[in-house]
Chains A and B, each alone.
Chain A
Amino acid sequence: MCVPVVRNPSYDVAMAPLIELRGLTVEIPTPAGWIRPVDDVSFVLETGESLGLVGESGSGKSMLALALMGLLPPGAKVRGEAWFSGANASSASRVNLLALGEREKIAVRGRDIAMIFQEPMTALNPVMRVGAQIAEAIRAHEPGISREEIHRRVLAALERAAVPEPAVRARQYPHQLSGGLRQRAMIAMALAGNDESAPRENGAGGKPRLLIADEPTTALDVTVQKQILELLAQLRRDLGLALLFITHDLGVVAQVADRIAVSYAGRIVETGPSREVLARPRHPYTAGLLRASPQLVRHKLEPIPGAVPALTALPPGCAFEPRCALRVPECAAAMPELRDAGPGHTARCILV
């Protein structure tokens, strides 16, 4: 099921994708008027699959993640559907994440869908020991759990994130850890609900099925980034996690993603298998990003002229038209639909 726009949702549980977005749109009020950081986004993410969501600042990629987690800022309006299969606490085979009540949202968040962020220092509480924070995350979903069991689970979570000397680290504060270890501690906390050996009753505990990672390595040194990417790959294999990896870095996405969705000014402009999209991009923006990316081999960088348009002042037609070297007059008339650009490959460009 690689077709990005699915008109009829599949109700066969065995076949249903883990996540199926249909026309997801997020609108946010700003002093300059309503903006639409996520605009009519549709894609599917299969169980265990890794999707790289690529875009520059202002492309709406983080807002999409927050919408799935039910963490949008107050006043935000959401439209569309986000079907999720495999909610541990739900008897329904599929739930629409956007239609959940607050209690159900809390049950899903952190247990079925875990999220890690770019800067662990802002996600971790600076005045609380690392172990206590992980314990809090476990207790939030399993209130009746014993002290001994929590202690065991905290150490298991740190071990799973390959934190050396977990018992020592659990007693430390975030500022005592290096950037890489903080990121590992956050991964441990995000996946703390995942314990195969934990006793389970009426939907307590259970496995996260999806990890959303928002620029998790952007603030890290390149050698530490490599270790964190290897850890995420290992967790995917061991836990059967699907991964929604948000990044601006095409090199990183080439390494972690089975498929790529390229976002520009709130819209998906190209999707497809990552090797295919990066080797043979069909949207001029994707091609331009690749030509503008510095690589180890010196090549003539070809910058994209201009800047990403402000969401308050989008052009009437294709949002990339003002910066596009290949534009023709029709491009300014209307936003093109995603078009078929090869097997499992689509691009939002009239030249395709």
Chain B
Amino acid sequence: MLAPLLEARNLKKTFSAPGGAFAIGAASGVPAVDGVSLELAAGETLAIVGESGSGKTTLARMLLRLIEPDSGELLVEGRDFLAARGSQLRALRREMQMVFQDPFASLDPRMRVGSIVGEPLEIHEPNLARAARRARVVEVLRAVGLAEDALARYPHEFSGGQRQRIGIARALVLRPRLVVADEPVSALDVSVGAQILELLQNLQRDFALTYLLISHSLPVVAQLATRIAVMQGGRIVETGAASQILNAPAHPYTQSLIAAIPALPAS
């Protein structure tokens, strides 16, 4: 049997509250992520769902080693990700990219779109000729639904939905296998968010991607996820196939999340 693409075992992270002028009491010692284990198989979409403070964003960042866990293990296809250094770490990192929530904050306003999307190539494939790099950037821009003339323009010239497409293009330009999407549509209008969800679906097929989707919204998750893990207070309280979690939630917290969603009347 193949090792999972990504496996986490008993990950823990506690942020210490620095005692400053505004520190009230001893707030340190509450773990943000408290012993999370999960497996991500190639080709699936695992959604981590939770409310604010549940630890879902900290977990996602630890899975990419953007934050180092206090303890636990992290394996990429059976290899120890936490022990990886230097060129080995760089090689693993280019397989995993992130799409961020806010397309206004996550793009450098002073860089042209061509540079924003091409930058990961400059870092990971420095020997690539200019023309070849440009061709790769144009190709990925087309894949996310943007025309070549976007290259020379700046982020502010684009709408929120187009900016999110630029962010996705930057994440895909290295042809990663895993994409972590942190609230990819929650800053967008409904009509535009649906475009991005549809795009993510199509890209998963065309680029053979594995997704880890971080979201507070079960309706959004329902559109993409094959599996769902529900987080509360730093722990996964329920995990299972998406249809099972959405239709027959077992944990009282999952049940309360589903019951709180305002439903539309049937047409």
Contacts and interface: CB of A to CB of B under 8 A. Distances in A.
Interface of A: 56-57, 176, 179, 221-226, 229, 248-252, 254-255, 275, 278-280, 288-290, 292-298, 301-305, 307-308
Contacts of A303: 191-192, 194-195, 197-198
Given A222-B51, A223-B256, A308-B189, A296 B220 contact: no
A255 B263 CA distance: 8
B262 interface: yes
Contact of A56 (B24, B189, B195, B216): B189
Nearest to A249: B262
23 contacts: A222-B260, A223-B260, A225-B260, A226-B262, A248-B190, A249-B190, A249-B262, A251-B264, A278-B265, A290-B267, A293-B194, A293-B219, A294-B217, A295-B219, A295-B264, A296-B218, A296-B219, A297-B222, A297-B246, A298-B222, A301-B194, A302-B194, A304-B195
B258 interface: yes
Contacts of B193: 292, 294
B223 interface: yes
Nearest to B242: A298
B263 A251 contact: yes
B267 A296 contact: no
Nearest to B192: A307
A296 B51 CA distance: 17
B261 interface: yes
A31 B162 CA distance: 23
A293 B51 contact: no
Contacts of B264: 250-251, 254, 278, 290, 293, 295
B161 interface: yes
A255 B197 contact: no
A225 B260 CA distance: 8
Contact of A292 (B159, B194, B262): B194
SS class of chain B's interface: helix, strand, loop or mixed?
helix
Contacts of B197: 294, 301, 303
A1 B257 CA distance: 38
B191 A292 contact: yes
Contacts of A275: 265
Given A288-B191, A295-B222, A296-B246, A307 B159 contact: yes
Nearest to B53: A221
Interface centre among B161, B222, B262, B263 (most CB of A within 10 A): B262
Contacts of B257: 222-223
Contacts of A248: 189-190
Nearest to A304: B191
A128 to B, nearest CB: 16
B223 A301 contact: yes
Contact of B222 (A280, A292, A294, A307): A294
B190 A293 contact: yes
A179 B161 CA distance: 28
Contact of A222 (B189, B216, B223, B266): B216
B122 to A, nearest CB: 30
Contact of A251 (B192, B220, B262): B262
Nearest to B162: A307
B28 interface: no
Nearest to A323: B191
Nearest to B201: A301
Interface string B203-238: 000000000000011111011000000000000000
Which 6 residue pairs spanning A and B have beta carbons closest together? A251-B262, A303-B194, A292-B194, A304-B191, A221-B51, A294-B219
A296 B159 CA distance: 28
Interface in B6-56: 24, 51-52
A52 to B, nearest CB: 11
Nearest to B256: A223
Interface string B171-202: 00000000000000000011111110110000
